[in-house]
Structure 1
Amino acid sequence: MADVHSPEQRSRNMAGIRSANTKPELRLRRALHAQGFRYRLNSAKLPGKPDLVFPSRKKVIFVNGCFWHVHDCRYGQVVPATRPEFWAEKRNGTVGRDARKNSELEALGWQVHTVWECELRIPEQAIADAVQFLKS
């Protein structure tokens, strides 16, 4: 199936996808801040640049997009129609990198929690899980 966009338009679309300050991340940040939790953002000192870092608790939270990090929900199981081999390799590389970075963080004594984009569509449970993680 041919792409409906020109290569230039597709490139612009893909370049516009943010890695930080996404809507799901902002939703979680606002909720945690409102409950009194304070954090650092995207610490380059830690493997994987976690989205939220809680230094005093030695805990980090990643807010992952379902498509890019191949979540098992319907959004993560989408297979692009154009260049499926390229996208499979790229997305599987992301999954492998996530696993390596989580292991590195745990080896450094950090606890890791992942919140998925789809969970934040109806945020109450995801936020409750994050709060439980931070309080434990």
Structure 2
Amino acid sequence: MGRIVALDYGKVRTGIAVTDELQLIASGLTTVKTVDLISFLRKYVSEENVERFVIGEPKQMDYTPSQAEELIIPFMKHLARTFPEVPIERQDERFTSKMAFQSMIDGGIKKKQRKNKALLDEISATLILQAYLNRR
């Protein structure tokens, strides 16, 4: 088995989470600038056995795609061309940012640290990945 890599794709930053090799535990990995994402993933995939990518699927409350989907679709095509051997799946990401923020509060993270958008994106990616694992 290989790792599953989840992405909370954003215009500026992308949060990244991964599973262990047994695909039991979702853990935050990092947040990278979106312009550096493909090069980061190239390096990561060259060092780790990656079985699949899971990309958050932003939806409105009525299940229609959000505006962010306009950025994600071209990225997914680029990702598929760059890593043709790695399947890509989607996971509903509604409420992940709110849940990530609440988990920061529940975890006792100080108010100043909660303003760190990179940490929020990483936690959101972890929540996306955990939801994916739960769904399987």
Higher-Rg structure is 1
**Does the alignment reach a TM-score above 0.5?**
no
Q: Which one has the bigger strand percentage? A: 2
Tell me the TM-score normalized by structure 1.
0.35
